Amino acid sequence: MKLLNHYLPVLVLLAMTACGSSDDSDQRSSVLSRAISTDPESLDIHKARSLQALDVLRDLGEGLVSHTASGELTPGVAESWEMADDGLSYTFHLRADAKWSNGDPVTAADFSFAVKRLKEPATGAFYAQFLSDVTSLEALDDQTLLISLAQPTPYLLSLLTHPATFPMHAGGFAEHGERFARPGNLVSNGAYALEAWVPGSLLTLKRNPHYWNNANTAIDEVRHLVLVQESTQLARYRAGEIDITSTVPSENFAETRKQFGEQLHIAPYQNVYYYGYNLTRPPFRDKPKLRQALSMAVDREVLVDKVLGRGETPAYSWVPVGVNDYVPTVFSYADLTQDERNQIARRLYKEAGYSDENPLDVEIRYNTSDTHRAIAVAVQSMWRDALGFDATLVNEEFQVLLANMKARELTQVFRSSWVGDYDDAHTFLSVFLSDSPSNVPGYSSDEFDDLMLRASQQVDADLRRVYLEEAERVLLEDHAVIPLYFYVSKHLVSPRVEGWGDNFLDYHYSQHLSLKAAD
């Protein structure tokens, strides 16, 4: 791997030279270059958790159910399914022509094998409880899979599009063990196979000729380029070196919009940006007044209008507006002016035991990014102006931040986000269940857990929604986190890319895209 890193500049130069020659115009027309903002932490479907890893995995793998380019559910490995009248079981019928990248058939047993590993404590899967309502997966035959549920799960089909529920090639895992997801080892069942991975730089995916829908896959090669800085992505896009950016920098956003016009895609997105507290240690453990003071002292309107300015909306709830069949609960102070909020925040800050003579000493940790730093600087300034203390800013590499968040030893306030894994309020609220592995802040509330349990037991959709909304109210009253804003997806998409569809989940499978031939 060190040799690959050493010679990468030469290889990139040669590749750029080749792409610039007229003889290779056809080759470029079959290669899609996409930016991702950080290296995937893993391509093991049960170890991956970041957006970047999941985006790559959607190119490599496929679940029972998938999505169209516009984000609608569509058959994946399963060509059809039926739900029992009581909602407690689903029978899936797999495609006879579904195959792995080595030509082996994809069978119902491959899904059973994967879910068993997902649930094993020894796996340490981030999404270990993803299928907690599933009591069993039974392969009735090679093409028929029966999923039984402990209770009705209205979002099951949407959940089964997530990479954590993809099948696994048992033979590949038996041969390579925990190294099964590396180049040369990974056997995948999606439109693409993993060709190479230079950490911190580039993942190269090649067309999987055995994929059941290969005839409708237009692009031969997909390159996911790791470009951490948003400004670098923009510069590479301007130079024609990448076709799709993962985001757009806030600096000179109006100029970018003016320059690229319809190439700039902005759409509502099921994602909340937040600051989390470490609730397992001082100063935030058992201090809801302090947590509320910090939350109220953040001027969210200034963040979205002045710091970001790309269409984001202030977050006064945890669940975004627009989630299917749900009305978010909001903070009690949502309708107050910022001056009124600051007055209350100062009182709560003092009641929590802090003052000019005894200022709060706290760190904000965030991962490397122009936007994350700009937000941290703005929040630091807001807390200084409203409450009179200076937070210390700590910039960390993404994987280091993730490790520190999970360990809960160094973190005090940390930057994070939560993206809905399916279109239901449950995907946001279940994060804060006491036993959820996704509960990074360490929040624990018997009342919240009980409301979530009651919601999960309901067949009546209206009553289920009432319990979920009440659970969100409890979460917000406890000020377990500071929701800052709701994202919009922001991508620059080259005019040579066809088939792009904006959608609430911001899923963009490479197999849905094609490239115009060079003139």
Please check whether the domain covering 2-244+493-515 is classified as CATH 3.10.129.10.
Answer: no
* Mean per-residue pLDDT, 386-402: 96
CATH class entry, domain 267-489: alpha beta
Instruction: Tell which residue, 502, 419, 493, 509, has the closest CA to residue 56.
Output: 509
**Whole-number percent of the chain with pLDDT over 70:** 94
Taking the C-alpha atoms of residue 418 and residue 397, their distance in angstroms, rounded to an integer, is 18
The pLDDT of residue 128 is: 85
Q: Tell me the backbone φ, ψ of residue 168, rounded to 5 degrees.
A: -125, 145
pLDDT attached to residue 458: 83
Domain boundaries, the chain: 2-244+493-515, 267-489
DSSP 471-489: HHHHHHHHT-EEEEEEEEE
What per-residue confidence (pLDDT) applies to 18?
38
Q: Are 37 and 246 in contact (CB under 8 A)?
A: yes
d(CA 184, CA 245): 27
The predicted-structure confidence for 339-354, as pLDDT tens digits, reads as follows 999 999 999 999 999 9
pLDDT of residue 87: 86
H-helix or E-strand spanning residue 156: helix 156-159
C-alpha angle with apex 331: 330 to 332, nearest 5 degrees?
A: 115
Beta-strand relationship, 31-36 and 65-67? unpaired
Per-residue buried b or exposed e for 423-448, using 16+ beta carbons within 10 Å of the residue's own CB? bbbbbbbbbbbeebbbbbbbbbbeeb
Residue 189, phi then psi, degrees to nearest 5? -120, 10
Question: Which H or E run includes 382?
Answer: helix 370-387
For 352-382, what is each residue's pLDDT tens digit?
999 999 999 999 999 988 889 999 999 999 9
Rounded to two decimals, what is the model's pTM? Answer: 0.77
Residue 283: name the closest of 413, 438, 476, 414 by CA. 413
Q: What is the pLDDT of residues 242-300, one digit of tens each?
A: 999 999 988 778 899 999 999 999 998 899 999 999 999 999 999 999 999 999 999 99
Q: How many CB atoms lie within 10 A of CB 17?
A: 10
Helices (H), 396-460: 398-407, 426-429, 446-456
